[in-house]
Amino acid sequence: MIQPIESRSLSARPNGTARADRLLDPAAAKTLLAGLAREEGFDAFGIAAPDSIPESAPRLARWIGEGAYGDMDWMPDTMERRSSPASLWPEVGAVAMLGLNYGPDEDPRDVLAQRRRGAISVYARGDDYHELIKGKLKRIASRFVPKAGGDIKVFVDTAPLMEKPLAEAAGLGWQGKHTNLVARERGSWLLLGAIATTLPLPPDAPETDHCGSCRACLDACPTAAFPAPYRLDARRCISYLTIEHKGPIPHEFRQAMGNRIYGCDDCLAACPWNKFAELGREARLAAREENRAPPLAELARLDEAAFRARFTKSPIKRTGRVRFLRNVLIAIGNSGMASLVPEAVRLVGDGHPLIRGAAVWALSRLLDWEAFTELRARHLPDEPDESVRAEWLDASGAA
């Protein structure tokens, strides 16, 4: 799933210096760490050696060379540090990968048929997992180091660490054809955290690929974001477009977005291995009722203060009101609901051009020619932003 924010790590020692002293032998230290992970509610645990993913660096280089990262500029900027855990932290002796199951209690694709409501990715319907998992890892670190020795750094999908290849190397699952991790016991619903330690903990056996000839995830993608199995073009991915992409949604993907307003679960939900998936046990990751299928009209009325209040503990807050309402307006345009026209009309006057442009497109889909032309005549002469003016002019042919 694509969610990067600023890099975070935790050193278990205040001065951040490495130390080589061991209070337990490596096998006992691993047993201790696994037990602490279970006590914190993690569902999967395994150890990867620092040099266990040599193939990841050239794959990443090819992906970046193709420009498939879109405008996620931190990917090429951090490419060298991503090449191996030792590039990020030379003293690392092992990387523990931990997985937290967040299996949903319903098929997340069911909401796609409710056109007046928005579809939010399963992982974002509850609390922000970055903060949740970071807290768990910090508590593990504080209990592990005094008993086992060494130094620790923890990571939660934020530092230049190749979590999914490392999770495969640690035996948690394998990277499926949709490039996400799949586990035989849990399907596709696993959030990852990492603990790097200077201790040389015994590694686990890597998981092997069990996708076979299946291509359900590839065929499920509404925007054909997979040019080939095991390859993702983020520029076509709805998760990237609705979360990371900063500009207007490219026209070729707007209709395919449907009512997906934050992320997309289609490739994950389509995986046949999900028949073994279990409901997530972490209450703070469970869907809040207001995020299961929120009315688009309600979301379109959020001002800055209301947006921040509603999504205080949610990863959605990181995207910001402007991009979120851009997504909501695309969904309104795809809804076919005349009752949502007033929401789009109101947002044509919003202070941000990204919202105004999306509102224009929505109205071009919902209004007849005469009504759209009248609205354009009222707003276009005073529109200062060239991108919004282009939306008015481009949409005229579609109205």
Q: Where are the alpha helices (DSSP H) in the chain?
A: 26-39, 56-65, 74-77, 79-82, 85-88, 129-148, 163-169, 216-220, 238-243, 251-257, 266-269, 289-292, 296-300, 304-310, 316-335, 341-347, 353-366, 369-379, 386-396
Give residue 18's pLDDT.
42
| Amino acid 259: pLDDT | 98
Q: How confident is the model at residue 158 (pLDDT cuts 50, 70, 90)?
A: confident
pLDDT tens-digit map of 370-379: 999 999 999 9
Integer-rounded Cα radius of gyration of the chain: 23
pLDDT tens digits, one per residue of 250-262 = 999 999 999 999 9
The model's confidence at residue 160, banded by pLDDT at 50, 70 and 90, is: confident
Average pLDDT over residues 232-251: 97
- Spell out the SS3 assignment of 258-302: CCEEECCCHHHHCCHHHHHCCCCCCHHHCCCHHHHCCEHHHHHCC
Residues 6+ apart with CB under 8 A from 150: 19, 20, 21, 22, 29, 93, 197, 198, 199
Predicted confidence band at 15 (pLDDT cuts at 50, 70, 90)?
Answer: very low
The set of long-range contacts for 76-85, using a CB threshold of 8 Å and a minimum separation of 24, is 78/160, 81/160, 82/56, 82/57, 82/160, 82/161, 82/162, 83/56, 83/57, 84/50, 84/51, 84/53, 84/54, 84/56, 84/57, 85/50, 85/161, 85/166, 85/196
More confident residue, 259 or 394: 259
Residues marked active site are found at 157
Count of C-beta atoms within a 10 Å radius of residue 158: 16
Flag whether pLDDT at 153 surpasses 80.
yes
The pLDDT of residue 157 is 84
Q: Which domains does the chain have, with CATH numbers?
A: 1-104+123-212+271-286 (no CATH), 295-399 (1.25.10.10)
SS3 99: strand
Mean pLDDT (the chain, rounded): 92
Is the pLDDT reported for residue 175 higher than 60?
yes
pLDDT tier at 17 (50, 70, 90 boundaries)? Answer: very low
Q: Is the pLDDT of residue 11 over 50?
A: no
**pTM of the full structure:** 0.92
* Amino acid letter, 97: M
CA 299 to chain centre: 21
Cβ distance 230 to 296 under 8 Å? Answer: no
pLDDT at 9 over 70: no
Provide the pLDDT for residue 396. 60
Q: Is the pLDDT of residue 212 over 90?
A: yes
| Predicted pLDDT at 216 | 98
What pLDDT digit, counting tens, does each position of 75-119 carry?
A: 988 888 888 899 989 999 999 999 999 999 999 999 999 999 999
Share of residues in the chain with pLDDT > 70 (%) = 94
